[in-house]
Structure 1
Amino acid sequence: MLKLDGLASFVVVAEAGSISEAARRLGLSKSVVSERLAEVERTLGAPLLHRTTRKLSLTEDGAAFLERAARIVREVEEAAADMAQRRGTLSGPLRVSAPVTFGRMHLGPALYPFLAQHPELELTLELDDRRVDAAADSFDAVVRHGALQDSRLVAWELAPSRRLLVAAPAYLERHGTPGSPQELQRHRGIFYVNRGAADWRLEGSQGVQVVRAGVGLRVNNGDVMRDAAVAGMGIALLPTFIAGDAIRSGALRVIDVGLRAAAESIYVAHPEGRRTSAKLRAFVQCLQKTFGTPPYWEALIPPCGAGGEG
């Protein structure tokens, strides 16, 4: 008879593409995962994986078996979680991906009380600014900032997000405070590298304007962008969840050129077709309640200005 732990190991190996990565995700040794796979194949009487020195790939039988096996594993995990919730507890694994800066500044602190309240919940939080494939990388959910780009995901908004043009007072004293898009393009900018060109896309009554500026720094981390702006290296377009404390303290000033960055959202998403588990619903509700509407990081920040990360 097939064992559930064997099915679960096969599903994770197939999704991870290697036994070593699957073992890391499962918190097991490679030898245990290998033995579980071998037992599943012996029980079924067919090989499920092609094994080479470089990678694993599914056999025709393995590909046919994977979809049902994954569905069985998810259903059992969700059923167990629902039963735990009926008893007033949440339990079992929950694997989430989130951006580095938002995870460090806001997500982690919001989740510590949640985890203390549900000690049987096994949360794996992986901070990574790349846009992971939630299904292929075996995440139950992803936390993202911006616009939802993958139609295969089902999303809930955690909080609205806006981005503001900001600079240090010392920088503005040296170079002047721009009051229009034309003046803005004469300044040095601090840009988020994954967004491509050295420009800001800002909106006004005439639609979207692309405002180009000189490059002071390109970097793929919001913390570094904020710190560079505080150090006087140029003007940055930053989310208030990153720049809020520096704006409130006076280390950064908001610049108003009559245009705003497009409104964005911070959201949680999970792959389409998966039933929403009780623990994921509780995770989302915890974050929504903690962040508030408007979110707490907006406190005392002026409503004017060009509103987000890079």
Structure 2
Amino acid sequence: MLKLDGITSFVAIAEAGSISGAARRMSLSKSVVSERLAELEQGLGAPLFHRTTRKLSLTEDGQAFLERALRIVREVEEAAAEVSERRGQLTGPMRLSAPVTFGRMHLGPALYPFLSRHPGISMTLELDDRRVDAQADGYDAVLRHGAIADSRLVAWVLAPSRRFLVASPAYLKRHGRPRRPADFADHRAIRYSNRGIADWRFLEARADEFVRPHVVLRVNNGDMMREAAMAGLGLALLPTFIIGEQLRSGELEIVDVGQSPETEFLYMAHPDGRRASAKLRALADALKEAFGDPPYWDAGLAWASGGGGGLDVDKAAFEGRDKER
């Protein structure tokens, strides 16, 4: 009969790439982990790794077994966590994916108090601007910014997100201020490469009046988009959770072309068909509370009604909210 500790050790070796790395992760001696692997291979009647002096690599049988082994380990961990949850404790592993800029600027500060309150949770957070497959890649949940479209996911809205077309005062002085989408022909753009040409969508724009500007920079990171806009390279369409501070300081200005970008949200999504754990629900509630409604990064920013909108900065309101946090 196969033993669970052997399967767990196999998964740790596959993820760490070495027996010594797995031993460190599991707080066991190298010899114990090696013995567990040997016993598992003997029970299966097949080697699971190619062994060389430098590294281990999965055999064909090992690769096939890994998929099932990951599922087994995950089910056992979730079962143990569920027992703890029944006793009112939030424990066990949690694996999340989130965008890089949002994770650095806002998710981290909201997560740290949550993890301090629940020390039994072991979280793995992977920051990546690409759209990962929550189901196939084994995430408990993914945090995303955008429209909610993936029908395979159950989404919880964490906060509304407002995006604005912005540019630096220096850029607008050199190139003028576009007043309608047709004016984009005379302008330069900084684009988010992970969304492609579909990123610049305005609710009221007709296809025959929309002109795409010359793209001076494509990049898959919001921090760099903001910095490029501040450097005067061109127009950028960015959410206020990235550019709120620069709008308040005047380093970036909203460019009103009479039309609004599509509505978007910050949301947490988990695979459809998988019951959301108590700790995942608790995390969603904690993030909602930390971000606020309206979200704190919009504090001190007031937009005029109408397409695009102008901007008024209420510095007193912003400073008051900042002190509360």
Rounded Cα–Cα distance in structure 1 between residues aligned with 2:276 and 2:12? 19
The residue that corresponds to 2:165 in the other structure is 165
Q: 1:155–1:269: 8 Å Cα contact kept in structure 2?
A: yes
Q: Structure 1 vs Structure 2: percent identity of aligned residues? A: 59
The residue that corresponds to 2:179 in the other structure is 179
Rounded Cα–Cα distance in structure 2 between residues aligned with 1:224 and 1:236? 11
The residue that corresponds to 2:262 in the other structure is 262
Superposed CA deviations along residues 177-228 of structure 1, whole A, max 9, x for unmatched, are 1111122331111111233349832220647964311233222210111112
The residue that corresponds to 1:223 in the other structure is 223
The residue that corresponds to 2:42 in the other structure is 42
Q: 2:130–2:194: 8 Å Cα contact kept in structure 1?
A: no
Q: Which secondary structure does the structure 2 equivalent of 1:212 belong to?
A: coil
Superposed CA deviations along residues 131-178 of structure 1, whole A, max 9, x for unmatched, are 223344332222112234544333222222231101112222222211
The residue that corresponds to 1:247 in the other structure is 247
Structure 1 residue 59 corresponds to structure 2 residue 61: yes
Superposed CA deviations along residues 120-141 of structure 1, whole A, max 9, x for unmatched, are 2211211111222334433222
Structure 1: tracts of 5 or more residues without a match: none
Are the structure 2 counterparts of residues 275 and 72 from structure 1 closer, same or farther at C-alpha, using a change threshold of 3 Å? farther
Tell me by how many angstroms 1:8 deviates.
3.3
Amino acid at match of 2:287: L
The residue that corresponds to 1:139 in the other structure is 139
The total of aligned residue pairs comes to 302
Rounded Cα–Cα distance in structure 2 between residues aligned with 1:197 and 1:38? 52
Amino acid at match of 1:241: F
Tell me by how many angstroms 1:37 deviates.
3.7
* Superposition RMSD in Å: 3.4
Rounded Cα–Cα distance in structure 1 between residues aligned with 2:23 and 2:286? 25
Tell me by how many angstroms 1:238 deviates.
0.4
Are the structure 2 counterparts of residues 140 and 233 from structure 1 closer, same or farther at C-alpha, using a change threshold of 3 Å? same
The farther-off stretch of 141-150 and 230-239 is 141-150
Q: 1:189–1:198: 8 Å Cα contact kept in structure 2?
A: no
Rounded Cα–Cα distance in structure 1 between residues aligned with 2:18 and 2:11? 14
Q: 2:156–2:269: 8 Å Cα contact kept in structure 1?
A: yes
Amino acid at match of 1:172: L
Q: Which secondary structure does the structure 2 equivalent of 1:47 belong to?
A: coil
Larger radius of gyration: 2
Rounded Cα–Cα distance in structure 2 between residues aligned with 1:159 and 1:74? 30
Tell me by how many angstroms 1:50 deviates.
6.7
Superposed CA deviations along residues 84-110 of structure 1, whole A, max 9, x for unmatched, are 334443222212111110000110000
The residue that corresponds to 1:27 in the other structure is 25
Q: 1:203–1:209: 8 Å Cα contact kept in structure 2?
A: no
The farther-off stretch of 263-272 and 149-158 is 149-158
Tell me by how many angstroms 1:36 deviates.
3.5
Q: 1:94–1:124: 8 Å Cα contact kept in structure 2?
A: yes
Tell me by how many angstroms 1:265 deviates.
2.0
Structure 2: tracts of 5 or more residues without a match: 310-325
Q: Which secondary structure does the structure 2 equivalent of 1:204 belong to?
A: coil
Tell me by how many angstroms 1:261 deviates.
1.7
The residue that corresponds to 1:126 in the other structure is 126
Q: 1:202–1:211: 8 Å Cα contact kept in structure 2?
A: no
Rounded Cα–Cα distance in structure 1 between residues aligned with 2:36 and 2:209? 57
Tell me by how many angstroms 1:2 deviates.
3.7
Rounded Cα–Cα distance in structure 2 between residues aligned with 1:81 and 1:21? 27
Q: 2:97–2:128: 8 Å Cα contact kept in structure 1?
A: yes
Structure 1 residue 111 corresponds to structure 2 residue 115: no
The residue that corresponds to 2:298 in the other structure is 298
Amino acid at match of 1:237: L
The residue that corresponds to 1:282 in the other structure is 282
